[in-house]
Amino acid sequence: MNPITHRTVDSNGICIHIAEQGTGPLVLMCHGFPESWYSWRHQMQALADAGYHAVAPDMRGYGQSDRPAGIDQYSLFHLVGDMVGILDALNEKHAVIAGHDWGAPVAWHCALLRPDLFRAVIGLSVPYRPRGSVAPTSVMPQNDDAWFYQLYFQSPGAAEAELEADPRMSLRRILYSGSGDYPRKNPGPATSGVGMVPRSGGFLSRMHEAQKLPSWLSEADLDFYADQFRQSGFRGGLNWYRNIDRNWELTAPYTRAPITVPALYMAGELDLVVAFPRMREVIADLKRYIPQLHETVMLPGCGHWTQQERAAEVNQHMLAFLHAL
């Protein structure tokens, strides 16, 4: 059994920490917010055992990777450039790229912008959404009492202060409240408007404390995440959200452009992303913009943290897709 190894590579002008395991065709895995390479821990061994080279970076702004100071250094073009740079650093000509949460738009756009390098794509939680006709923040829901969490994240400072006050508590609440283990039929803030944050409170005010951690998340797992964010802070990850409108502006040349490589999409039936307005319609229409979409997999009882909550099922579908390429 080959263990997971770690190193830092130069990519796109910054240093990126990568975890890797196995040898063979490259599978590059992009994590989301607020996570790290560690969110792919269950996939790395399975991929290595199946004859693949599994690589999971700490994405720009996270963990042991560099955290550029400028907000404008976190656009999708920077993030795609980082993944291209990793291929160069590894002397690889091609890769299959996978992404979860914010990592999914990175993976989708790697496939969109560089199909010559990324021969297939796997998206978890967040489906590919073609560029809309207006800036995204202009249509995000808000009212006098609450606003969409991505609007709350736009102004630097407030979200950082809230999440960094107690990183372990913040992560414990976020991971539990977003999971399929949270009983959403119970009344409470998390059920009153998907993704909405009360203006009188913060992001965590709609999260819930777990009396007991779910089976897929151990105290040691939580400790790892908390240690990472105590060192890095949350600003780097939050800066991804602060580029949403900039990404919309920059991707104008790719309006209506299809993803032409083979693709797989997976999400939990209880994922709050799936519950966002019009998201199920987007998922149902994926093949329109991804003509080589092999499969859409919806995992019963699974919440947002797809590859952690349902590791065995995700591994099964990923390997079947990879073997079919």
> Residue 247 and residue 150: Cα distance in Å, rounded?
14
**Please, are residues 51 and 188 in contact by the beta-carbon 8 Å criterion?**
no
Instruction: Using alpha carbons, select from 52, 249, 24 the residue that is nearest to residue 138.
Output: 249
**Please, are residues 127 and 48 in contact by the beta-carbon 8 Å criterion?**
no
- CA separation (Å) from 282 to 219, 274, 288? 36, 9, 10
Look at strands 14-21 and 53-57 and give their pairing: antiparallel
Helix axes 219-232, 167-177, angle to 10 degrees: 120
> Residue 26 and residue 92: Cα distance in Å, rounded?
8
> Residue 31 and residue 180: Cα distance in Å, rounded?
19
Which active-site residues does the annotation give? 101, 304
Three-state secondary structure call for residue 181: coil
Q: Over the range 304-323, which residues count as b (16 or more CB within 10 Å of their CB) and which as e?
A: bbbbbbbbebbbebbbebbe
Helices (H) and strands (E) in the chain, counts: 13, 10
> Residue 45 and residue 53: Cα distance in Å, rounded?
10
